[in-house]
Amino acid sequence: MTPDIHIIGGGLAGSEAAWQLARRGLRVRLSEMRGTGERSPAHQGDGLAELVCSNSFRSDDDEKNAVGLLHHEMRGCNSLIMAAAAVAQVPAGSALAVDRDVFSAEVEARLSALPNLQIVRERIDTLPAAGLTVVATGPLTAEALAHSIGAATGSDSLAFFDAIAPIVYHDSIDMDVCWMASRWDKGETKDYINCPMNRDQYLAFHTGLIEGEKTAFKEWEANTPYFDGCMPIEVMAERGVDTLRFGPMKPVGLDDPRTGRWPHAVVQLRQDNKLGTLWNMVGFQTKLKHAEQVRLFRTIPGLENAEFARLGGLHRNTFLNSPVLLDRQLRLKTAPHVRFAGQITGCEGYVESAAVGLLAGLMTAAEATGREWQAPPRTSALGALLAHITGDAEADSYQPMNVNFGLFPPLHDVKKKQRKEAYTDRAKTDIAPWLAAVRA
């Protein structure tokens, strides 16, 4: 098959772009390095759209939450990623969390069923010199291709560290100490395992985080900053003794059934697979060495005998300075036959990565078929995210960003308490005609 479009990278963004293009009758070649015997430092398997960090797509509330609104808009575009998430969903309260293995298998099965889509396990080392191309290799782009991208852009990429949270086997958790509940639980949902800490236990744990042996930086990593949305827990601990109690270890709204009171601090675990056998430690991304993680995390009440399916880790992520390098259609200004999609553009988060892949697919489909591209409204989640990446952000201070209402055109005339709902109402109204045109 001679392809109309070449997609490099089979993560969430590349898979979504391939789906949008192939469903519109275009011939697509999807190149994925994993399966050739090579993997990035963060990946563990060869499946398409592997989730390498959390298993959560965050809030699914599309009334007062920006990422929930993005879910809503992507579903309106017949998103592959959102459809696969529905099949693989596991309980997580108001969040959308998935069994990561079921999710990846569903994405790959649906793509493999498309007759005009060819999935090729191969490593691409250079940007193609011609032909419509979507590069969705993510923040861990292989070295040779990264050098090729650097040569084409003539500009340094951004980089920061991203940390991975540990996963615990359920049957190793002491449920006589821990209990099931969601924050402010009124009885209808009990989606999190809660490990309580008293003051002395918390202070000892806090000290252990700060003093524990950490992964050493390589020389070239020394000045690479962290992303605030995925901060290692020990780095948060260094910001103050109570920082964690107002962050991932917040006890507010969690009544310990043994005391009827809130603990001093709480470690929460969220279900990671449909079987309920794996649970990840919420907010516990870490750069502690593996042996140190096992020792310290087993001091958490209820986790004294914890067995870990995966320990935390640390990897370096690289991003383009997209407001400078890309045009409003995600095309490389110096090579406009090449588009970029996903986290390499500087968006952050699974859903955002897939959303930018979706947009890149729609843009490329329009270009390949000679149609004029119409961007989603600036007031929508898709439109706000796209605008941030392609020019609204300050190039000198451009940082990886999750979708949030701060990216939306402001509604100063609406009272603050009503503003989130007003943003979503406006977005849904404004994007409805655009979604209808996309589905047509």
Residue with the two structure tokens 């947009």: 359
CA distance 396 to 323: 9
Q: Which residues pair with 117 in a beta bridge?
A: 28
Q: At what angle do helices 66-76 and 80-88 cross, to 10 degrees?
A: 110
| Amino acid at the residue 186 | K
Region of 138 (left: φ > 0; alpha: ψ -120 to 50; beta: rest) is left
- Is 10 annotated among the ligand-binding residues? yes
CA distance 245 to 251: 7
- Is 11 annotated among the ligand-binding residues? yes
- Is 312 annotated among the ligand-binding residues? no
- Is 9 annotated among the ligand-binding residues? yes
| CB within 8 Å of 394: residues ≥ 6 apart | 323
CA distance 436 to 428: 12
List the structure tokens of 312. Answer: 């935390």
One DSSP character per residue, 59-88 reads: E--SSS-HHHHHHHHHHHTT-HHHHHHHHH
Burial of 61-99, coded b for 16+ CB within 10 Å and e otherwise, reads: bbebbbbbbbbbbbbbbebbbbbbbebbbbebbebbbbb
Contact 46, 35 (CB under 8 A): yes
Cα separations (Å) of 177 from 92, 102, 195, 196, 304? 21, 31, 7, 8, 10
Burial class (CB in 10 A: 0-12, 13-18, 19+), 387: buried
Contact 157, 318 (CB under 8 A): yes
| CB within 8 Å of 85: residues ≥ 6 apart | 57, 96, 98, 103
| CB within 8 Å of 105: residues ≥ 6 apart | 47
Burial class (CB in 10 A: 0-12, 13-18, 19+), 426: middle
Which of these, 72, 306, 263, lies nearest to 166 by C-alpha position?
Answer: 306
**Beta carbons within 10 angstroms of residue 217's beta carbon:** 14
| CB within 8 Å of 227: residues ≥ 6 apart | 160, 161, 162, 317, 348, 399, 400
Query: What are the binding residues for FAD?
Result: 9-14
Query: What are the binding residues?
Result: 9-14
